[in-house]
Chains A and B, each alone.
Chain A
């Protein structure tokens, strides 16, 4: 079997549609992960009794089980409780929740890196808790962890291929479907690989650059 350029061109539009779904899932997933991770990190840092321990277990549990197991569990178990969300929405929630456990740890490292004197100064000025977090701690914490969050974003982009297993019509799913229909896997899967590479490699280079810039200016 040799490479068939005409066939490759003919399937490109469908694959690009798949890539668009992949990008949408990643955007929505990272938004959930960034917000939920921050909430988890702040609550754990404030040592709210019971809630902090529960969230500690949440982080442990999510990080200790494979993403695909979580995706299957959500996709097959939730409907038995009458919750039917559809593949894409289920996939986005699973990605977001899974990565929130990782971003929570990143936020935590950022928060712990903020100098102790900043907290003490805020207390000395009797600043209420909310502005202490939003004006003093978080702006300093987030700056240093932006590259790390960026790396998780790229990783999520690659992990979104797993959602093909729960029939989300993202890039890999489209490639597989074409391959199974036409009995030709060479062209669709090669293009799938190239498209993933074409997005994630430049993104990784950009983040490496961002990392260097933030490191120097500190």
Chain B
């Protein structure tokens, strides 16, 4: 068995995959930002024990965590559009679905971070008659957020690795570019190997950075 490896094909596929990589990174960054903000909102709603709303948030989080991301991608893209007539691009749909999906995971991270803040901080804030909003923004969150940064970093890497799922709804991210190139030239070995190497290198560098961050701020 001889491996038929063509460096010419690698050179040809390289710029194509780079263009896909830009899309992959755009999706990752936007979805990550969405998950950071929405996850925090979910966590605060759940912990504030607002009747009905807190329970609904809990149910939503459990349902999202118990179903596959790919199923959610298809549901959002096909069902929502046919039901409501709202037309979102595949790119934007992907960002929203990945962002909301991971918000259900980051909310648990925030919750752990908030619970790690000593109870005395809450009591002191109450004793000082601080309004509820100020307690969150000035006392609790500034202490909770730094500790959750490494966990958020790990979820960001996970999101980066989930972006290929969006080829199912036609987003031209990196794997889709590799597939396209492989289908046109039949050089599947080079195309997929190159895509794999790109993913590996970026996620490895990112995980080293997260580990460094971890040693600086400590884990939960």
Q: Which residues of A contact B (CB under 8 A)?
A: 1, 60-61, 64-70, 72-73, 76-77, 80-82, 158-162, 164-165, 172, 175-176, 179, 185-186, 189-190, 192-193, 196-197, 200-201, 204
Contact = CB atoms under 8 A, between A and B. Distances in A.
A189 B182 contact: no
Interface in B161-220: 161-165, 167-168, 175, 178-179, 182, 188-189, 192-193, 195-196, 199-200, 203-204, 207
B186 to A, nearest CB: 8
Interface stretch (B50-58, B69-77, B89-97): B69-77
A201 B62 contact: yes
Contacts of A80: 4, 188-189
Nearest to B199: A65
Interface stretch (B29-37, B78-86, B120-128, B130-138): B78-86
Contact of B82 (A1, A70, A176, A193): A1
B63 interface: yes
Nearest to B187: A80
A134 to B, nearest CB: 33
A77 B78 CA distance: 31
Given A72-B179, A73-B192, A80-B188, A162 B71 contact: no
27 contacts: A1-B82, A64-B203, A65-B161, A66-B162, A68-B165, A68-B175, A69-B164, A69-B175, A69-B195, A72-B179, A73-B192, A76-B182, A80-B4, A80-B189, A160-B68, A161-B70, A162-B70, A165-B167, A172-B74, A179-B74, A189-B74, A192-B71, A193-B67, A196-B67, A196-B68, A197-B63, A201-B66
For the side of the interface on B, what is the size category?
A: 35 or more
A213 B215 CA distance: 32
Contacts of A176: 74
Given A65-B200, A69-B199, A200-B67, A190 B79 contact: yes
A89 to B, nearest CB: 19
A93 to B, nearest CB: 16
